[in-house]
Structures are given as C-alpha cells and as structure tokens.
Amino acid sequence: MKVFKTLALGAGLSGLLLSAAYAEGLQGKVIGFSQIGSESGWRAAETSVTKAVAAELGIDLKFADAQQKQENQIKAIRGFIAQGVDAILVAPVVATGWEEVLTEAKEASIPVVLLDRGIEGPEDLYLTSVASDQVKEGRVAGEWLVGAVADKQCNVVELQGTVGSSPAINRKQGFEEAIAGKANLVITRSQTGDFTRSKGKEVMEGFIKAEDGGKNICAVYAHNDDMAVGAIQAIKDAGLKPGTDILVISIDAVPDIFAAMVAGEANATVELTPNMAGPAFAALDAYLNAGTMPEKFIITESKLYTPADDPQGEYDRRKGLGY
Ligand code: AHR
C-alpha cells in the first residue's frame, strides 16, 4: 500500500483512505476505467492517482477517456464487458441514462464502482460509489459566505458545473440550502461553465458586463476551482480585484486555487480528494477475493480551506500529484 500512503500524507489528505482490510490483493486483475475526460485540474489528478495506485497494486488498468461524452463512456463500458474484465470503474459524466449498460455489466457479473459522481437509477446496478457528499460541499461553501458577509447585501453569481452532472445538481442545492433565509444573499445570475477554466472565464465576462462592469457582484460561487480561476482572470481583466471587490468561493482544493489565495485573489475552497481509487480498489479487493460487500456509499471528506490555512503549504503539498 506504499502509493496509498505517499499520496495521502504528501497531500495532507490523511483520513481519506479507508482502513479496509486487504484480502489477497488485485495483482494481475484487469480493471476497466471509463474516465470523463480532462476538463479540470482535479480530473487530471484523479486520473494520475488512479493510474499510480493501479500500477502499485499490479492491476492491468484499461483506461478510456470519454472526452466529456456519455456515448463514449457507454461504448467503453461495453468494450470492457466484451473483454471480460474483472471490474469496471466509471466516473459518470451525467447522472441519468446508465440503466441499460450497467444492467449489461450486471448480467455479465462484472462489478461496477462509481467514482466521484453519482447516478440516478437502481442501486443494485453498482457495487459501491466512492464520492464526496456533494450537497455538503455546496453547503460548506455557502456557510462560509454567510459568515463572511454577515448582514451586508451580497449579490452572488454562480458558475455551475456540467449540466445534468451530479456535482452540478448537488453543489447548487447545498449552496442554496446554506443561504436560504438570508435575505441579504441573493443568487442573481447562474449559468454553466462546464467545469472548465475557459468557460468559467467566458461566462464570468458575461456576468460582469451584465452587472454594471461587475459593480453589482459581491461574490462568485464556482462549482469547481478551474472555473473560479477563469473567473478570477475575468475579474482582473475588468479592472477589479478578485478576492476583495468580488469574493471567490469554489470547490476542489487544486494547487492553482491555493496559488490564487497566496496572491489574495481567492477566498475559500472545499477539498475534494483526487484519491477515489484507493477506497475503490480496497472495496474491489475485499469483494473479489473474500466476497465482502462494501458500504453502498463510501463518502470522502469535504474540508474547507481559506487563506488562514497556509495556502502556500497546501500548494506545495499538492503540486506533485498530477494536477
Ligand atoms: O465530479 C467532480 C468534479 O468534476 C470536480 O469537482 C470537477 O473539477 C470535475 O470536473
């Protein structure tokens, strides 16, 4: 378990690995991984960590990049089934439309593990889901803003993640729950930036234009750090100070957001560990080798970071992890 430990401690992410008892190991097992794509720094890190952990465990990992398209993921999963893999990992780009292909995997007796995003559908179609509590992530972000602005009037613009994805749905819900009943906090604009830096910038430019050059915006809430980094650039281009004139709150805790905190340009982020593979492989090991059924939902931590939390140190701890 060398890689698990190095990644966890190196990133200051201790506590995210499960203390699952390992059975015989996954040496030589063939596991398919249908990844969404590389839309964000966080996604790149999840891919790197999964490959590194698989290599350490001697797993023959079949990796398929879906380039953000569900149809590519379905094709990849069907390919894994045809190859007769031992298990399948899938990070589902959107929440709906999985029943048919996951039923095919079930009929072929291939266990499926969902990574980092959830689906709408019967729970018996997957062995377990390793993900954060995404509603909580939104709530933590919203609660930070409630505390930061106190009674001040604050118009918030929201950069949503990919339409129809579980993090976009749930992070929106959690944030709205946190600000519910606070009459001074209002979401005035909300649009998807598709979890990418370039779209985050583009959409924020539109918000600034529509809101009197940004004067009517008190805060931007982005469903991930990459969109926040894009928004920071748009705020600077408009001649305003991100982090001061417009507060910046987001989710992921990637190195670039800590660099922005060091520069005084970001105010809060909620951590999402890129190490979903550690718990996933532990669950598969126990299941394939000892028949142990894992918990249906394996929930990772959602820790808030602000400029008070040694952003330079957090940057240094994360920068070598494939972001
Ligand atoms: O599903 C997790 C989300 O997907 C991350 O927060 C985001 O960066 C990625 O694109």
pLDDT number for residue 22: 58
Tell me which DSSP letter residue 292 carries: P
Quickly state the pLDDT bin for 18 (edges 50, 70, 90). very low
- Tell me which residues have their CB closer than 6 angstroms to ligand 1: 39-40, 42-43, 116-117, 167, 195, 224, 226, 251-252, 272
Token couple for 31: 């596991």
Q: Supply the DSSP string of 124-190, one letter for each residue.
A: GGSSEEEEE-HHHHHHHHHHHHHHHHTTS-EEEEEEE-STT-HHHHHHHHHHHHHHTT-TTEEEEEE
pLDDT (tens digit, 9 = 90+) per residue, 125-143?
A: 999 999 999 999 999 999 9
Using the mean position of ligand 1's atoms as its centre, give its distance from the Cα of residue 215 in Å: 29
Using the mean position of ligand 1's atoms as its centre, give its distance from the Cα of residue 289 in Å: 31
Using CB atoms within 10 A of its CB, is residue 275 exposed (0-12), middle (13-18) or buried (19+)?
buried
103 sits in which H/E element: helix 99-107
Using the mean position of ligand 1's atoms as its centre, give its distance from the Cα of residue 290 in Å: 32
Mutation pick for ligand 1 pocket among 36, 43, 94, 223 (CB with most ligand atoms within 8 Å): 43
Quickly state the pLDDT bin for 19 (edges 50, 70, 90). very low
Tell me which DSSP letter residue 246 carries: B
pLDDT (tens digit, 9 = 90+) per residue, 289-305?
A: 999 999 999 999 999 99
pLDDT number for residue 24: 77
